């Protein structure tokens, strides 16, 4: 029968709970309501709302088996949320991806921005360097964008003269699907991968790796000259930061630079300052993670963004100062 509401089915596949959406419009489309949630037509029936403690998910329950699956996902998501709040490390990919899978499915993607990030525009030459005016040829840098979502930054960076290839890493299939749909000019096509850990798409100066970032290694990719990290390190649990940086460092050439944009929950109740994601990343955190590897650290900018309307949820937590900070992290040349 025809259904008016987008239906979110939660099914168990290969002993993992994976969310699948049917008929859900892309985020940012005219059919989206406030907060990025779908604005469906008036239904001819009243759906049951399953409350997860964060956002309502419209669910159609068909029989006892489907009800069991819905309840199972509820408990799984709740357990994952509690682990995040308590700072307990989520070690399996299933645990790490639960929140993000659900978020993309229901449109909880406020971190996605429709315009190219200002930090890139302000620091383009500092980060990428100038093209070689002696040979009149671009440098052809390889740029990595970890946990990329469907960011519009990737096509922009790929269009710069200094850049040869931009590679995005994303673990949520729906985010990859939406990027491919929204960037037809990139002509992305699936291709063979040297590793079973990733499903790879390639196009015009763009590559997209669908899979677990922690599977990235010199065996699965060529090395990178530059990294754009916005919304990546701040999304990783503090207990997993060391593993994240070790994974990142292993695929960077000597002298590589990382343009990092993070958030510093600076002033407010301790619980709000320690909350995440996005997790607070301070200068001390960066020094602890990178200086022991020989990286130089330079602050490029810092501003309190809580006055902006879009950050109301952080103000509601009691935060009075939350700085958006840009940093340039440079790997030693030897």
**Is residue 247 one of the residues assigned to a domain?**
yes
Contact criterion met (CB below 8 Å) for 66 and 53: no
Provide, for the chain, the percentages of residues in helix, strand and coil under a 3-state DSSP scheme, each rounded to the nearest 5: 35, 30, 35
| Percentage of the residues of the chain whose pLDDT score is greater than 70 | 70
Q: Give the pLDDT score at 88.
A: 56
Query: Which residue, 74, 26, 32, is CA-closest to 54?
Result: 74
Q: Give the pLDDT score at 131.
A: 67
Q: Please return the burial class of 104, using the count of CB atoms within 10 Å of its CB with bins 0-12, 13-18 and 19+.
A: buried
Q: Give the pLDDT score at 72.
A: 38
Q: Give the pLDDT score at 134.
A: 53
Q: How far is CA 212 from CA 36, 197, 247, in A?
A: 25, 7, 11
Q: Give the pLDDT score at 94.
A: 79
What domain range includes position 231? Answer: 93-331
Query: Which residue, 304, 294, 301, 279, is CA-closest to 329?
Result: 294
pLDDT under 50 in the chain at which residues?
Answer: 1-86, 135-136
**Is residue 8 one of the residues assigned to a domain?**
no
**Is residue 63 one of the residues assigned to a domain?**
no
Domain count for the chain: 1
277: domain CATH number?
3.40.50.150
**Is residue 251 one of the residues assigned to a domain?**
yes
**Is residue 36 one of the residues assigned to a domain?**
no
Q: Give the pLDDT score at 90.
A: 57
């Amino acid at each position: 029968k025809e259904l008016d509401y987008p239906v979110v089915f939660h099914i168990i596949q290969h002993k993992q709970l994976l969310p699948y959406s049917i008929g859900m419009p892309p985020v940012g489309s005219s059919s989206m309501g406030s907060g990025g949630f779908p604005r469906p037509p008036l239904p001819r029936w009243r759906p049951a709302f399953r409350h997860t403690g964060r956002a309502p998910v419209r669910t159609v329950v068909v029989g006892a088996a489907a009800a069991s699956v819905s309840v199972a996902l509820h408990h799984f998501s709740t357990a994952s949320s509690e682990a995040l709040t308590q700072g307990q490390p989520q070690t399996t990919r299933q645990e790490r991806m639960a929140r993000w899978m659900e978020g993309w499915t229901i449109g909880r993607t406020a971190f996605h921005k429709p315009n190219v990030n200002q930090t890139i525009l302000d620091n383009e030459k500092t980060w990428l360097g100038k093209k070689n005016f002696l040979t009149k040829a671009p440098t052809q840098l390889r740029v990595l964008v970890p946990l990329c979502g469907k960011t519009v930054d990737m096509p922009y960076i790929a269009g710069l003269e200094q850049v040869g290839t931009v590679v995005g890493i994303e673990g949520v299939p729906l985010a990859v699907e939406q990027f491919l749909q929204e960037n037809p000019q990139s002509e992305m096509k699936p291709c063979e991968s040297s590793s079973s850990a990733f499903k790879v798409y390639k196009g015009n100066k763009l590559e997209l790796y669908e899979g677990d970032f922690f599977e990235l290694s010199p065996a699965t990719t060529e090395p990178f000259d530059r990294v754009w990290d916005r919304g990546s390190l701040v999304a990783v649990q503090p207990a997993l930061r060391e593993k994240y940086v070790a994974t990142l460092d292993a695929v960077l050439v000597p002298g590589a630079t990382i343009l990092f944009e993070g958030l510093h929950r600076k002033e407010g109740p301790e619980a709000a300052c320690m909350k995440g994601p996005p997790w607070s990343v301070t200068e001390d955190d960066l020094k602890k993670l990178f200086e022991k590897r020989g990286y130089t650290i330079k602050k490029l900018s810092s501003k309190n963004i809580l006055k902006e309307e879009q950050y109301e949820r952080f103000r509601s937590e009691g935060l009075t100062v939350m700085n958006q900070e840009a940093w340039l992290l440079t790997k030693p040349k030897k």
